[in-house]
Amino acid sequence: MEKNQVPDIVVARLPLYLQTLKTLENEGAYNTSSKDLGQKLGISAAQIRKDLSHFGEFGKQGTGYSIKYLTECLEEILHVNKTWDMALIGVGFLGHAIVNFQGFYNQGFRIKCVFDSDPNKIGQIVAGFEIMDIKNLEATIKENRIKVAMITVHAENAQEVTEKLINAGVKSILNYAPIVLKVPTGIQVQYINPIIELQHMTYYLE
């Protein structure tokens, strides 16, 4: 497979390039350069050119990159030139905030269904979604062929939920619970963990 040749650390930067391109487009710009992107992102121009070179040639000498064209290319590379249906598991305060988040739209994602195990929550409507019983998780995810999920349950339940998700065919998990998930090869997991980020920063404080 060609994509195995691209280091994951390079792949991880592509969404940042895409984000910056979209900001530039919103500002009304049509063209940019590796130098410009690098300054905005705080990384070197050489690194951006090197990263992009793994996937093809997207620029022109002398004039740089067309924002529109490079955006389209990156969206295709990252497979966000389509919209991925997502499941959300755990409708506490955080899950509630995510369900109400407007920012997925036009970035390749939308929430399709939300689950909780609390009988008091099941059946309630949140931002237009009826909270479903977690007992129906596997059937519903299979039925809708959902490949992407977000976990916002307590740490104690995150591994169990993960296993159900994988059973149901989910391949990519964004985990907000503060625990490292055990998953088989081929399943992607990323973590969102404010405590980790805060503790990283306080190292540098007095």
Q: Which positions touch a second copy (CB under 8 A)?
A: 3, 11-12, 14-16, 18-20, 23, 40-42, 77-80, 84, 86, 92-94, 96-98, 100-101, 103-104, 107-109, 147-148, 150, 155, 171-174, 178-180, 188, 190-206
Name which of a second copy, DNA, none residue 126 binds, using a CB cut-off of 5 to 8 Å depending on partner kind: none
Nearer to a second copy, 4 or 61 (CB): 4
Residues in the chain: 206
Name which of DNA, a second copy, none residue 100 binds, using a CB cut-off of 5 to 8 Å depending on partner kind: a second copy
Structure tokens at 3: 């994509």
Indicate whether 30 belongs to the interface with DNA (CB under 7 A): no
**Residue 191 and residue 87: Cα distance in Å, rounded?**
16
Nearer to a second copy, 12 or 139 (CB): 12
Q: What is the DSSP string of 25-69?
A: HHTT--EE-HHHHHHHHTS-HHHHHHHHHTT---EETTTEEEHHH
- In the chain, DSSP assigns E strands to 31-32, 59-60, 64-66, 84-89, 109-116, 125-126, 129-133, 148-151, 172-175, 188-191
Structure tokens at 181: 């998930």
Name which of DNA, a second copy, none residue 40 binds, using a CB cut-off of 5 to 8 Å depending on partner kind: a second copy
Per CB under 7 A, the list member of 25, 40, 41, 45 interacting with DNA is 45
User: In which element (H, E) is residue 99 found?
Assistant: helix 93-100
Name which of a second copy, DNA, none residue 77 binds, using a CB cut-off of 5 to 8 Å depending on partner kind: a second copy
Longest dimension (CA), the chain: 62
User: How far lies 2's CA from each of 20, 116, 197, in Å?
Assistant: 26, 39, 33
Nearer to a second copy, 5 or 61 (CB): 5
Name which of a second copy, DNA, none residue 93 binds, using a CB cut-off of 5 to 8 Å depending on partner kind: a second copy
Closest alpha carbon to 178 in 189, 194, 167, 163: 194
What is the nearest approach in angstroms of DNA to the Cβ of residue 194? 22
Nearer to a second copy, 23 or 167 (CB): 23
Catalog residues that contact DNA under the rule CB under 7 A: 7-10, 33-35, 43-47, 49-50, 52-53, 57-65
